[in-house]
RNA sequence: GGCAGGAUAGCUCAGCGGUAGAGCAGCGGACUCAUAAGCCGUUGGUCGCGGGUUCAAAUCCCGCUCCUGCUACCA
């Protein structure tokens, strides 16, 4: 049973919310850092908003262009298309495996994206926000390619450190101009690059500085994450620099003008447009080509961008400037960028190893425990560390022992003692005095502690929901799990396994209440644990999917037949820690 | 260099102006429905260092030390 993605995205009520997720470079598989940084928080947020009845559209796609894809292709002797296709397929499988519920996951290699990009390019050119100028660049004659700054190394003109990159010296921290480097050499071929002039289009970022500052400083951006807001403001106050948005390459979106056949629009300008083109593609595919307006031109829409922190400038400066240039499109409502996830203390990185590859993980373990462990340790305010020891601990102590066991013990006692059905608590009216309909519809007589537990569950929908809405996933998860703890306490206090022998009404009430509390928890935890909560939902005798029932405690009705449950999570042996750490190669 | 975040119990972290908190680990206990899970109690901290503001600071301000990250042409 798959925890289906878009139960309600086609619904016409609720607020339009665009969940935009960073576009992964199609030059390698995805790893845990990608999941914790962008895809998981976006998915949790999207699932929550769908349950609230909002019109969610979750979009992203593979970034098929860019130097790394080309470089990888050359290393393999393959075409960039082949490299991109391979990893695009990998991404799709990974998202399916982890239940990342995109409404559309497309790529930048589509006719639609090229058209949308070229259209915006031409309009910005007409507006004067793009202009043409000559630029002097380093050219690697051996590799036959102009070199991005970071692909050039040499001696730092400030500190004489040999190994400075074209953009920055790692030794003294100075920001460099690639042309200043002494004895430059290409990282691609080790050749000495030569200077060549080339005409390019530039984005007139400097023209947007004031408008961007005003926009960021507006009151409603005070709840942006401090690191996102401060970084952006700092950048704006330091002064923006017009950037070239075209390159002398052949893999990318063509420039829609004559005489530029050897150049392409560069990824950092083009990829962010993907949010818009993906929305348009989705709308067309759903038979309503104008449908994209609901998220992009209706000011009531909310647009949230889930990215890693390295991506902040593109989403809080460059993309907003492009949207301002257009003038009709909504600016980002929030950019809740995450910090980095470190793996046992070292940075997760495609290049440096020490990485948990997601396709690899899925071959050995279930998705929900990973979603849970990452959500519980999500790098929301600062870098967070992932260790396998902590993963096993959270799986065993929190998912198995506290939550899974709660579900299992309640279902088991109930089925054994009440004929496999949800028992009925005693009602307020005593039989004999009234009868028939009056008796059948009288409210249940619940003890104060029963009432208190259900109240606590219901109240948690507000607090936990608010946390999901503010993209504070750790807090949301803590709040929900505390309620699971309260349910365990309640059970111990009421000891229904004893009460069944002496006072069946007492036990009936306890189990009825516990089942209802679990029903609430299933909904509350569903955004984080979509697979296992769906199973728990079915164990409770509910029909359909968790998501469709909405953001509220769905009542478990007395008399409902309970199917035979199975364990939601499996306990992991401690040996997993050593095995996986060996695999990490740390 | 600039900027940001962090430094709190053995471990992972929360608290961010009002007598130090959680989970795990450790110790003790009562129970036994459950994937030997759950529940109750308990040991344990001069809240990185030095100043300052305040009736009151882990919490605000200044300085310092250490760690991590970002620094827009590898998105």
Q: Does any strand B atom come closer than 7 Å to the Cβ of A315?
A: yes
What pLDDT score was predicted for residue A585?
67
Residue A529, pLDDT > 50, answer yes
Stretch among A65-69, A204-208, A380-384, A438-442 having the lowest mean pLDDT? A438-442
Say which range, A109-118, A186-195, A265-274, A563-572, has the weakest mean pLDDT: A186-195
Strand B positions closer than 7 A to protein CB: 1-6, 12-14, 23-25, 31-35, 37-40, 68-75
CA A303, CA A513: separation in Å to the nearest integer?
Answer: 39
Per-residue 3-state assignment (H helix, E strand, C coil) for A281-341: HHHHHCCCHHHHHHHHCCCCCEEEEECEHHHHHHHHHHHHHHHHHHCCCCCCCECCCECCE
Q: Give yes or no for CB of A468 within 7 Å of strand B.
A: no
Which positions 413-452 on chain A have a beta carbon less than 7 angstroms from any atom of strand B? 413
Q: Which of A158, A449, A472 is nearest to A334 (CA)?
A: A472
Nucleotide nearest to A342 (CA to C1'): B68
pLDDT of residue A437: 66
Concatenated DSSP letters of A416-437: HHTTTB---PPBSSPBTTB-HH
Average pLDDT of every residue of chain A: 88
Of the spans A158-167, A180-189, A414-423, A469-478, which averages the highest pLDDT? A414-423
| Res A10: pLDDT | 43
Per-residue pLDDT tens over the stretch A545-562 = 998 889 999 999 999 999
Domains (range + CATH), chain A = 1-108+271-306+339-386 (3.40.50.620), 388-549 (1.10.730.10)
Per-residue pLDDT at A173? 64
pTM of the model: 0.93
| Residue A352 predicted with pLDDT over 50 | no
Band (pLDDT 50/70/90 cuts) for residue A3 is very low
Is the C-beta of residue A454 closer than 7 Å to nucleic acid chain B?
no
Quote the tokens at residue A289: 């080509």
| pLDDT surpasses 50 at A568 | yes
Report CA(A36)–C1'(B70) in Å, whole number: 18
Find the Å distance, CA of residue A176 to C1' of nucleotide B56: 50
Strands A104-107 and A55-62, bridge-based pairing: parallel
The C1' atom of B40 and the CA atom of A496 lie apart, in whole Å, by: 18
Task: Report which residue is nearest nucleotide B34 when distances run from CA to C1'.
Answer: A409
Give how far Cα A109 sits from Cα of A50, A80, A82, Å: 29, 11, 12
Q: How far apart are CA A432 and CA A467, in angstroms?
A: 49
pLDDT of residue A9: 40
User: If you average pLDDT over residues A105-133, what whole number do you get?
Assistant: 95
Residue A222 pLDDT > 70: no
Report the pLDDT value the prediction gives residue A122, as an integer from 0 to 100. Answer: 96
Q: Place A171 in a pLDDT band, splitting at 50, 70 and 90.
A: low
pLDDT digits (tens, 9 = 90+) for A463-491: 999 999 989 899 899 999 999 999 999 99
Q: What confidence score (pLDDT) does residue A453 get? A: 95
Count of other CB atoms within 10 angstroms of residue A176: 20
| A2-22 mean pLDDT | 66
Determine if strand B comes within 7 Å of the CB of A479: no
pLDDT for residue A348: 44
Query: What mean pLDDT comes out for the span A351-358?
Result: 70
Q: Is the CB of A501 under 7 A from strand B?
A: no
pLDDT of residue A345: 63
Whether A6 has a pLDDT exceeding 50, the answer reads no
């Amino acid at each position: 049973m798959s925890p289906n993605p878009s139960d309600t995205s086609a619904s016409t009520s609720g607020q339009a919310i665009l969940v935009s997720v960073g576009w992964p470079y199609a030059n390698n598989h995805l790893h845990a850092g990608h999941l914790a940084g962008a895809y998981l928080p976006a998915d949790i947020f999207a699932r929550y908003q769908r349950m609230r009845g909002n019109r969610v559209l979750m979009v992203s796609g593979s970034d098929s262009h860019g130097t790394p894809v080309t470089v990888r292709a050359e290393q393999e002797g393959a075409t960039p298309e082949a490299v991109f296709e391979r990893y695009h397929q990998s991404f799709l499988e990974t998202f399916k495996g982890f239940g990342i519920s995109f409404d559309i996951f497309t790529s930048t290699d589509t006719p639609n994206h090229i058209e949308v990009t070229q259209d915006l390019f031409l309009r910005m050119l007409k507006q004067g926000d793009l202009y043409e100028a000559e630029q002097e660049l380093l050219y690697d004659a051996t590799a036959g390619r102009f070199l991005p700054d970071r692909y050039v190394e040499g001696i730092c003109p400030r500190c004489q450190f040999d190994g400075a990159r074209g953009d920055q010296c790692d030794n003294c921290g100075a920001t460099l101009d690639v042309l200043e480097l002494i004895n430059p050499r290409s990282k691609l071929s080790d050749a000495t690059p030569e200077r060549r002039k080339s005409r390019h289009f530039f984005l007139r970022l400097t023209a947007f500085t004031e408008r961007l500052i005003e926009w960021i400083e507006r009151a409603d951006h005070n709840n942006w994450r401090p690191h996102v807001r401060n970084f952006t403001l700092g950048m704006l106050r330091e002064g923006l620099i017009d950037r070239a948005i075209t390159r002398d390459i052949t893999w990318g979106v063509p420039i829609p003008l004559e005489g530029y056949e050897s150049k392409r629009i560069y990824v950092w300008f083009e990829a962010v447009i993907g949010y818009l083109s993906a929305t348009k593609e989705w709308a067309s595919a759903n038979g309503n080509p104008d449908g994209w307006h609901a998220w992009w031109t209706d000011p009531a829409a909310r647009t949230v961008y889930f990215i890693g922190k390295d991506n902040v400038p593109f989403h809080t400066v460059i993309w907003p400037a492009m949207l301002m240039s257009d003038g009709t499109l909504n600016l980002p409502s929030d950019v809740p960028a995450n910090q980095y996830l470190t793996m046992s203390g070292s940075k997760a990185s495609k290049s440096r190893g020490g990485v948990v590859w997601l396709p690899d993980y899925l071959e050995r373990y279930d998705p929900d425990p990973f979603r849970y462990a990452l959500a519980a340790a999500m790098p929301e305010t600062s870098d967070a560390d992932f260790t396998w020891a902590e993963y096993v601990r959270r799986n065993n102590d929190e998912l198995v022992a506290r939550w899974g066991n709660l579900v299992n013990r309640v279902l088991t006692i109930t089925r054994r003692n009440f004929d496999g059905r949800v028992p009925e608590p005693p009602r307020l009216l005593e039989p004999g005095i009234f009868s028939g309909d009056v008796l059948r519809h009288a409210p249940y007589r619940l003890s104060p502690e029963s009432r208190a537990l259900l109240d606590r569950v219901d109240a948690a929908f507000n607090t936990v929901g608010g946390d999901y809405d503010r993209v504070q996933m750790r807090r949301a998860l803590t709040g929900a799990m505390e309620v699971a703890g309260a349910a365990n306490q309640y059970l111990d206090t009421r000891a229904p396994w004893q009460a069944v022998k002496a006072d069946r009404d007492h036990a009936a009430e306890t189990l009825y209440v516990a089942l209802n509390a679990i029903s609430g928890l299933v909904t509350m935890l569903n955004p984080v644990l979509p697979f296992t909560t769906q199973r728990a939902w079915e164990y409770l005798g509910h029909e359909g999917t968790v998501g469709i029932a909405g953001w509220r405690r769905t009542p478990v009705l007395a008399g409902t037949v309970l199917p035979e449950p199975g364990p939601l999570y499996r306990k992991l042996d401690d040996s997993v820690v050593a095995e996986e750490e060996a695999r990490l190669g740390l």
